[in-house]
Chain A
């Protein structure tokens, strides 16, 4: 009798705060981002989960208002327009080099006041071209930041045209997550969210309200304890 098991395709979108305040942490976060997919595959294998296809994309984010108001520095590779730096999905392990190169280009710069545009970055992540391949999918968003987020409505006026159709407020963003409003590729049963963020709003409220979200309350300047990191990976792996 020939019976085949199920194939599971996993997409991971990593949203990384690349403002100046992240400077002391950015290398560690990038290192975490580099190892995350490999560690996830290891955790899956340890739990006998088979991932048939794995893709990763990265979204670096800053602050919409600061990036729009700040005079352009044409000598800087990430001038005022680069509030979001988005990569395509990289197929791993085949495009590991491309992922590493993209991560290397991310600099911790800009941002202005402490809250950043992390919620808009989440919206961009949810609108990704998520895989529908395989018989089951997992759509995982991981966000790293050391700051709270500006209310979405307070930054609508600063949006470049390319981002004009992002959600108008947190309610709309919540609808994107909870009911798939405005996102055609995100599958409700496949979604998972992991936040490495300080224990402040909006992150605390968001993780309480959004289904299938996990929050590691990060402390500025400190990384993840191995135990916490392992728990997060195992938690995701066991839902694959």
Chain B
């Protein structure tokens, strides 16, 4: 049985705050022979706001990067590659070569700005693959760089399968209501890490890949889950759910926002809906109504939210991967990748330079970056995939 035979529900949200200038790539849903993959890429608008002209169009390096990485992933999967530990080196190499081709084609628009946070074609990446290993057993593999996330959503709740790569690790577990600058993202001028996390599942589930615009403008992780639950309960089919969820995210987000859901193992949308919203009433009573009752009292709201977060976080963080460290991620140094030759020659993870520690990340390198397009193969673009 290939992924084409799986009954899945697949919806996607793609919101550009300024039309034609969005720095998230369209979300990706890809159905290969053995793996289904969902992915989002969020070009870093602060670090990558330098404009580049490529093929007569001027966009920020952030926008070029996110779209370039998406195309690169599609080519990677079209070539029969899988998302797994053994392929991470080749995936990182493919990202670098794509950004490098962009840079070769780019006519740089003059900019004299400098800074420690400036990056050449910077973007986050969050992707997740699903593979059926037995009749009722799936392997889910999340791979990411930066603060775009992959969540697992089951009747037990929403659980991140990725841990944000941020300067202040406290915002991940203790203070999820705050934000922090990134400590890692894909770019052409700095080494970066691709982290991997696998889980095995035996019951139906939904995977969600989301940029920070989609999850970061609700008032707590409980509100993010409630947004999913409430919208799913309210709308009778997947296409309407997709539109309404997109409208809700669009109203809250103060950034470009992308999110893609892939639900696996359910008979159909009605089965998904029935399973996921069964305890909506109890969830709302526990986590939402109490917060709403605090009204405009900011101090009471903060206090109540902190108490509820302590209760919610145990399950929420049950599948959280470890902190990014050497040996737990593939380190990808663009200098070494490009020195090794064309994309096909990129080395596997085992050949990665072992001494390349996180401390080296901030070293400077001056080069240029990427191109894009490429085959779309069996990739869905934005919006929902037909099989529901």
Contact = CB atoms under 8 A, between A and B. Distances in A.
Q: Are A and B genuine complex partners?
A: yes
Interface of A: 1-6, 8, 46-50, 135-136, 188-189, 207-217, 227-228, 231-232, 234-236, 238-240
A230 to B, nearest CB: 10
Contacts of A48: 17-18, 253-255
Given A5-B252, A5-B254, A48-B255, A231 B18 contact: no
Contacts of A215: 113-115
A214 B219 contact: no
A4 B219 contact: yes
| A4, A213, A235, A236 interface centre (most CB from chain B within 10 Å) | A235
A135 B112 CA distance: 34
A208 B255 contact: no
A135 B18 contact: no
Interface of B: 17-18, 45-46, 49-51, 109-118, 167-168, 171, 177-181, 217-219, 223, 226-227, 230, 248, 251-255, 292, 364
A8 B255 CA distance: 13
Contacts of A46: 18
Contacts of B111: 227-228, 231
B280 to A, nearest CB: 11
Contacts of B292: 2
A6 B212 CA distance: 13
A226 to B, nearest CB: 12
Contacts of B178: 136, 189
A231 B117 contact: no
Contacts of A47: 17-18, 45, 254-255
Given A188-B167, A207-B115, 19 more contacts: A3-B223, A3-B226, A3-B248, A3-B252, A6-B254, A8-B254, A47-B17, A48-B18, A48-B255, A210-B116, A211-B167, A213-B117, A214-B115, A215-B114, A227-B110, A234-B45, A234-B49, A235-B49, A236-B46
Contacts of B219: 3-4, 6, 135
Contact of A211 (B45, B116, B227): B116
Contacts of B51: 231
A231 B113 contact: yes
A189 to B, nearest CB: 5
B197 to A, nearest CB: 24
A221 to B, nearest CB: 16
A214 B181 CA distance: 14
A6 B109 CA distance: 34
A204 to B, nearest CB: 8
Given A49-B254, A189-B179, A189-B180, A238 B46 contact: yes
B116 A235 contact: no
B167 A214 contact: no
Contacts of A208: 114, 116, 364
Given A6-B217, A50-B254, A214 B49 contact: no
Contacts of A212: 116-117, 181
Contacts of B254: 5-6, 8, 47-50, 240
Contacts of B217: 5-6
A224 to B, nearest CB: 9
A193 to B, nearest CB: 9
Contacts of A1: 226-227, 230, 248
Contacts of B50: 231
Contacts of A217: 112, 114
A105 to B, nearest CB: 31
A153 B202 CA distance: 65
Contacts of B248: 1, 3
Contacts of B46: 235-236, 238-239
The 7 A-B pairs at the shortest CB distance, nearest first, are namely A238-B45, A214-B115, A239-B46, A48-B17, A189-B180, A5-B252, A215-B114
A214 B219 CA distance: 30
Contact of B113 (A6, A49, A210, A228): A228
Contacts of A210: 116
Given A6-B219, A211-B116, A135 B168 contact: no
B110 A214 contact: no
Contacts of B180: 189
Contacts of A3: 218-219, 223, 226-227, 248, 252
13 contacts: A3-B219, A5-B253, A8-B254, A47-B45, A48-B18, A189-B180, A207-B114, A212-B181, A215-B114, A231-B49, A232-B113, A235-B113, A239-B45
Contact of B168 (A50, A136, A188, A207): A188
Contacts of B253: 5, 48
Nearest to A44: B254
A207 B116 contact: yes
Contact of B179 (A4, A136, A227): A136
A8 B179 CA distance: 11
Nearest to A239: B46
Contacts of B168: 188-189
Given A3-B223, A3-B248, A213 B230 contact: no
Q: Which of B17, B18, B217, B292 has the largest count of A CB atoms less than 10 A from its CB? A: B217
A143 B178 CA distance: 27
Contacts of B45: 47, 234-235, 238-239
A231 B98 CA distance: 25
Contact of B177 (A50, A135, A227, A240): A135
B218 A216 contact: no
